[in-house]
Amino acid sequence: MTAPHAEAPLRPRKTTQLRNLLTSSALEFILEAHNGLSARIAEEAGFRGLWASGLALSAQFGVRDNNEASWTQVVDMVEFMADVTSVPILLDGDTGYGNFNNMRRLVRKLEQRGIAGVCIEDKLFPKTNSFIDGDRQELADIDEFCGKIAAGKDSQSDDNFCVIARVEAYIAGWDTNEAIKRAEAYRRAGADAILIHSAWSRPDQILEFAREWANRAPLVIVPTKYYSTPTQVFREADISLVIWANHLVRSAVSAMQATARRIFQDESLIDVEDHIASVKEIFRLQGADELAEAERRYFLGNRREAGAVVLAASRGDGLADLTDDRPKVMLPVNGKPLLHRLVESCKRAQLDPVTVVAGYKAERIAAPGIELVVNDAHASTGELASLACARERLGDDVVVMYGDLLFRNYVLRGLIEAEHELTVVVDSLPATRATTGAPDYAYCSAADDRSLWEQEVWLERIASTPQLDGRRADGRWIGMLAARGAGARQLAETLERLATRGDFAKLGMRDLLNALIDAGQRVHVVYVNGHWLDINSLSDLEHAGTFTSGQR
């Protein structure tokens, strides 16, 4: 898909693209769209052009197709459509919203807004949709309509902007002679193509017209009513362009009606969630990635960016023979290795680089976009020795975490957004399942008060026991810390100081945190209540499957 808000650099201009669609020898197709979102969807599906349908545009505004929406409201909407797509838009300009003079202004404004062409129909303002009492509708005076076409053509500054004349003779109950007479007059007045419309359920009028017309100018059709006609018939009739004129607005209506009814009846979302687009998909269609990228380039440029160091050196002894040939971080959870999930979370949180410290079966560690460092002495050393292998990444803003973690995104976000020099995440909920591994119990300056407001809480101690000096732990450290600025430098220095100790090989993250506290460094606590998991046993792994189900 093309980047939003930009035309792909190597494509011809949109006006040129539309002209190519009209003049190519192949039968081409454009699809109705009625706002930016539907326009993107149509382009993504592969359409090489869009029909900004008057019916669909007025419908999405909730008004009738009788020029109830003003032409500037229409133009504003098609501008949104043009901004987010790279294929040409042909506007259904109804009758041109007035006389020749209104048509001149319309064409100039459409060019300014990146619209490739306009189609006007030979009826009277305010128009009525062709399928509502079409045969009672009055046609425009031929000369007056020719003047409107000529005025439009004389107003365009891009030679390839297209003005298409729509012949409503059949709709108003006239025969092929009248239709041809009008089409020929409009062609002579400068129309780039003729749209011949019919409300019959069979294509007979269209085919008869096409035969008589004999390719004097490109022919455009709207097979809404004669939809069962095989497309090959249009090809054989030398039609240039087919407009599928209202099918996105109609499909949106059916889907919205079903969803609205379901939610109203159920008073719950449970039966709709899996049947509708995810919020993430909406973000994607809105081009959220492009904005994140732009923010990195323009907005966060002066801000120090944080990297991540992921400790992934251990085998995972509690996982039996599953870790015979790979470290536990490479075990799949719902088809995706733990480490891949973790790295994706880091990237989503814009942590970059992500440095993974491997050890056991390091050669089996792979994840897109990581830097790998290896603790060769992993079998005889602990977490701090592994952390020291990534010392080049310490000292600057960094998040350090265990590689066997699964967590909801907000957990990491909360950690990164904390404004403190050193921050840890502590889960204040008592463990609901038998604890596995060696939990890090956190003793804090205050228990979690579960208020909506962020508490100022500081870490006082991390210990391996749930009771310390007669005091109960306030929670478990989940194995994630963030260090920034002076805190990051202090973390690096403390690690170097500990590295000189004779027992360094045995030290773990717990010792580092306690050493920081002992050195007077304030360690801020962000409390969470569950929503994370670390993997130490087969039952953890099973639980991880449930935890991640439905996540991508």
Burial of 64 (0-12, 13-18, 19+ CB in 10 A): middle
Q: Is 198 in the site for ligand SPV (CB under 6 A)?
A: no
Q: Which stretch binds Mg ion (CB under 5 A): 85-93, 174-182, 397-405, 474-482?
A: 85-93
Q: How far apart are CA 37 and CA 50, in angstroms?
A: 12
Token match 């009672």: residue?
136
Specify the stretch interacting with Mg ion by CB under 5 A; choose among 49-57, 285-293, 298-306, 451-459.
49-57
Q: How far is the CB of 488 from ligand SPV (least distance, A)?
A: 60
CA 423 to chain centre: 31
What the block records as the tokens of 298 is: 């323009």
> For the chain, what is the largest distance between any 2 Cα atoms, rounded to a whole number of angstroms?
102
Q: By CB under 6 A, name the one of 222, 241, 349, 533 that touches ligand SPV.
A: 222
Quote the least distance from Cβ 92 to Mg ion, whole Å: 4
For position 189 contacting ligand SPV by CB under 6 A, the verdict is: no
Stretch that binds ligand SPV, among 52-60, 418-426, 460-468, 513-521 (CB under 6 A): 52-60
Which residues pair with residue 416 across a beta bridge?
Answer: none
Q: Closest separation between CB of residue 130 and ligand SPV, Å?
A: 4
Under rule CB under 6 A, residue 224 binds ligand SPV: yes
Task: State in angstroms the smallest separation of the CB of 120 from ligand SPV.
Answer: 11
Q: How far, in whole angstroms, is CA 263 from its chain's centroid?
A: 24
Residue 54 touches ligand SPV, criterion: CB under 6 A? yes
Distance, in Å, from the CA atom of 398 to the CA atom of 351, rounded to the nearest integer, reads 8
Cβ(528)–Cβ(425) below 8 Å: yes
Indicate which single residue of 4, 49, 54, 327 sits in contact with Mg ion (rule: CB under 5 A).
54
Q: Which does 224 bind (CB under 5 to 8 A by kind): Mg ion, ligand SPV, none?
A: ligand SPV
The residue type found at 159 is D
Q: Is 245 in the site for ligand SPV (CB under 6 A)?
A: yes
Among 2, 16, 66, 129, binds ligand SPV (CB under 6 A): 129
Residue 507: count other Cβ atoms within 10 Å of its Cβ.
22
Nearer to ligand SPV, 51 or 443 (CB): 51
Q: How far is the CB of 262 from ligand SPV (least distance, A)?
A: 29
Exposed/middle/buried for residue 133 (C-beta within 10 Å: 0-12, 13-18, 19+): exposed
Beta bridge partners of 118: 91, 163
State which residue has the least CB distance to Mg ion: 54
Q: Binding segment for ligand SPV among 53-61, 140-148, 345-353, 384-392 (CB under 6 A)?
A: 53-61
SS3 content of the chain, % helix, strand, coil (to 5): 40, 20, 40
What letter would DSSP give residue 361? B
The answer to the question of residue 16 lying near ligand SPV (CB under 6 A) is no
- Tell me, residue by residue from 81 to 120, as one string, x for binding to ligand SPV by CB under 6 A and - for no binding: -----------x----------------------------
User: 361 near 376, Cβ under 8 Å?
Assistant: no
What stretches of 275-382 show up as alpha helix (H) in DSSP? 279-286, 288-294, 338-348
| Count of CB atoms situated within 10 Å of the CB of 7 | 18
- Least distance CB 197 / Mg ion (angstroms): 9
| Residue 92 interacting with Mg ion (CB under 5 A) | yes
Binding site partner of 15, from Mg ion, ligand SPV, none, Cβ cut-off 5-8 A by kind? none
Q: How far apart are CA 20 and CA 14, in angstroms?
A: 10
Q: Least Å distance between CB 235 and ligand SPV? A: 21
Question: Does the annotation mark 65 as catalytic?
Answer: yes
Residue given tokens 């460092």 in the structure block: 373
Binding at 381: pick from ligand SPV, Mg ion, none (beta carbon under 5-8 Å per type): none
Q: What is the DSSP secondary-structure string of 243-256?
A: EE-SHHHHHHHHHH
* Interface contacts to ligand SPV, rule CB under 6 A: 53-55, 92, 129-130, 222, 224, 245-246
Which residues are the active-site residues?
65
* Interface contacts to Mg ion, rule CB under 5 A: 54, 92
